[in-house]
Structure 1
Amino acid sequence: MSPLMSLCHPWPLPSTHGCPRVPLPDSRWGQSLPGRLRVSACRGFWELLLPPVTPVLRAGSRELPRVPIGARMAPYRIRPYREEDYEAVRCLFAQGILEHAPAGYRHVVRSARAQLGLLVLFAAARAAAGSWLLGLAAAALALVAAWPLVRSFSTSYVRQALSTDLRDIGASYLRPPDAAFWVAEAGGAVVGMVAAAAPQDPAERGSALELKRMSVSRDFRGRGVARALCGEVLRFARARGYGAVVLSTSMVQVAAQRLYESQGFRKVGTFSPSPLGALLCFHIYHYRCDLPARADTPPR
């Protein structure tokens, strides 16, 4: 198995849903790859997350259309999730998370802790080998080794989401009374998504809802799609008498942080996803937006 394919060797997927069978952007490039790497992909996402041989790549799986060029200027609308959106929202979510891996890597290697560690490593290797070249090589190897570690934060998060709530969206967001899932649609394609559900923190359940799985296609960013999706969650929570909406986002999602702060969210906590994240200075920010109470809605 290739290193690219081994990132997400397999988690259980529903047999009733297939992998998007979208051609690679450059067919000549795709044909030049070894056979087990020539898989159908959604803009390169599935090469990273699916193994080379899996039942969901069998013939007959439904195709996920790419956003047509003409649709990129089409008006969008926010609507509830439908079953036929399943493949599109999973792919859109994964793409939105994975694209932040390079920014996370840059943040880590620029941190004071990482630079100090590289300096110590360089000095130790040079002293042990008596060579500047070997010292530089040791530091370079450390930088190379840090990339898969940082990337693992994104890939493990995507795996966890696709194998839990995004595996059965209906059970997670459509059947619970105080949960919902919306998509932004333009030109017949799903270009944005967001969900609302009970918070993971038991202390916040009953008093707040959590905004989850926000993602917007690159082609539609800067057009107010994310703001509209965020507004849906805030209105949904207020209509049901909740006093707040909470969410979590990573330190490298700067544009998302600005959006949430413009909508009234404030940062109330910081944590690391794992001990490795703490070591590499990779943090998750917890946000909260307190909602004004409605006079006609009794407190929960």
Structure 2
Amino acid sequence: MEEKTQKGDDSRLKAQNGFQTIVVREFEPADKLQVQRIFSEGLMEMIPDTAFRGLRHHPESLLLYSAMTAVCFVITMCWWVIGLLPAMVLCGRYFYSRRVIHGYLEQAMSRDMGDIEEFYMKSPDSRLWVAVLEGKVVGVVAAVSQQKPRGSVELQRMSVDRSCRRCGVGVALGRKVLEFAVTHRYSTVILGTTAYAPAAHQLYQRLGFRCVGVTNGYVTPGARWSLLERVFYRVCHHHYSLDVQNITSN
């Protein structure tokens, strides 16, 4: 059950989850450090997700690594290469995943996540909200109007504190973005994710989003795109969309 309350211009959404109440409200300056912590920790969790879980989603990478192993064996004629090279590949994937994602984090912190009030709170076409559980900020999400496609708003920066997942925080945050879209008469809500964890995709599908495309070999902002990064870092970017008109008509 959800309840909406008005306090000035601040719209608060309350979601009841068992005996706990999740309050979704607009960002306040005092939330900045907690928001940045949740966002950065969420990004850092994507390093092993990208480096290891993502490997099975890229058969072209597996083929390349197999060819590298075969070539090294032919050149060296050493059987221990067969065992050593896969370990080196995994280390390379972890190292470059960490470097790219850390670069993306630095870029975000130097832009919108470094000056949240200026980027999100001063324009009627953007907003950032936090989820509060038992007086503590445990999640964050943002909405930003898009020029292309016209009439759309993008869900961005969704992240939930690891200790509070599976408590309905992500759903409450997502519904707040949908409420924003309906109120401001946007036709579509879009989002993109490079996550491989099934839980992230299940959350978006639960909110009503559908996957409308996948970009294999997505160039992550902050990547240097060197030869070794091309070899050891490769991600799929999933594009999701939700028609807001379907929400208002149901």
Query: Would the TM-score normalized by the shorter structure come out above 0.5?
Result: yes
Runs (5+) with no aligned partner, structure 2: 1-18, 220-224
CA RMSD of aligned residues (A): 2.3
Decide whether the 8 Å contact of 1:97 with 1:158 is kept in 2: yes
What SS class does the counterpart of residue 114 from structure 2 fall into?
A: coil
What one-letter code is carried by the residue in structure 1 that aligns with 2:103? S
Distance of 2:176 and 2:44 partners within structure 1: 25
What one-letter code is carried by the residue in structure 2 that aligns with 1:273? Y
Q: 1:123 aligns with which of 58, 70, 75?
A: 70
Q: 2:106 aligns with which of 159, 170, 173?
A: 159
> In the alignment, which residue of structure 2 is the partner of 1:14?
none
> In the alignment, which residue of structure 1 is the partner of 2:3?
none
Corresponding residue pairs, total: 220
Distance of 1:164 and 1:278 partners within structure 2: 29
Distance of 1:261 and 1:278 partners within structure 2: 31
* Mapped pair 1:245 → 2:189: yes
Decide whether the 8 Å contact of 1:216 with 1:226 is kept in 2: yes
Post-superposition offset of 1:174: 0.6
* Mapped pair 1:193 → 2:140: yes
Decide whether the 8 Å contact of 1:118 with 1:142 is kept in 2: yes
Moved over 6 A (4+): none
* Mapped pair 1:290 → 2:243: yes
The change in CA–CA distance for 1:259 and 1:143 in structure 2 (over 3 A counts) is closer
> In the alignment, which residue of structure 1 is the partner of 2:169?
225
> In the alignment, which residue of structure 2 is the partner of 1:132?
79
- Greater displacement, 248-257 / 215-224: 248-257
> In the alignment, which residue of structure 2 is the partner of 1:273?
218
Matches within 5 A, 1:100-111: 100-110=46-56, 111=58
Decide whether the 8 Å contact of 1:185 with 1:191 is kept in 2: yes
What one-letter code is carried by the residue in structure 1 that aligns with 2:49? A
Decide whether the 8 Å contact of 2:181 with 2:189 is kept in 1: yes
> In the alignment, which residue of structure 1 is the partner of 2:6?
none
Post-superposition offset of 1:186: 1.9
Post-superposition offset of 1:218: 1.6
Post-superposition offset of 1:77: 1.1
What SS class does the counterpart of residue 186 from structure 2 fall into?
A: coil
Decide whether the 8 Å contact of 1:88 with 1:190 is kept in 2: yes
- What TM-score, normalized by structure 1, do the two folds share? 0.67
What one-letter code is carried by the residue in structure 2 that aligns with 1:79? R
Distance of 1:192 and 1:179 partners within structure 2: 17
> In the alignment, which residue of structure 1 is the partner of 2:157?
213
Max Rg structure: 1
- What TM-score, normalized by structure 2, do the two folds share? 0.79
What SS class does the counterpart of residue 245 from structure 1 fall into?
A: strand
> In the alignment, which residue of structure 2 is the partner of 1:60?
none
> In the alignment, which residue of structure 2 is the partner of 1:76?
22
The change in CA–CA distance for 1:148 and 1:91 in structure 2 (over 3 A counts) is same
Distance of 2:81 and 2:178 partners within structure 1: 56
What one-letter code is carried by the residue in structure 1 that aligns with 2:43? I
Distance of 2:111 and 2:89 partners within structure 1: 34
What one-letter code is carried by the residue in structure 2 that aligns with 1:264? G
What SS class does the counterpart of residue 203 from structure 1 fall into?
A: coil
Decide whether the 8 Å contact of 2:96 with 2:233 is kept in 1: no
Report which structure shows greater RCO (CA 8 Å, sep ≥6): 2
> In the alignment, which residue of structure 1 is the partner of 2:204?
260
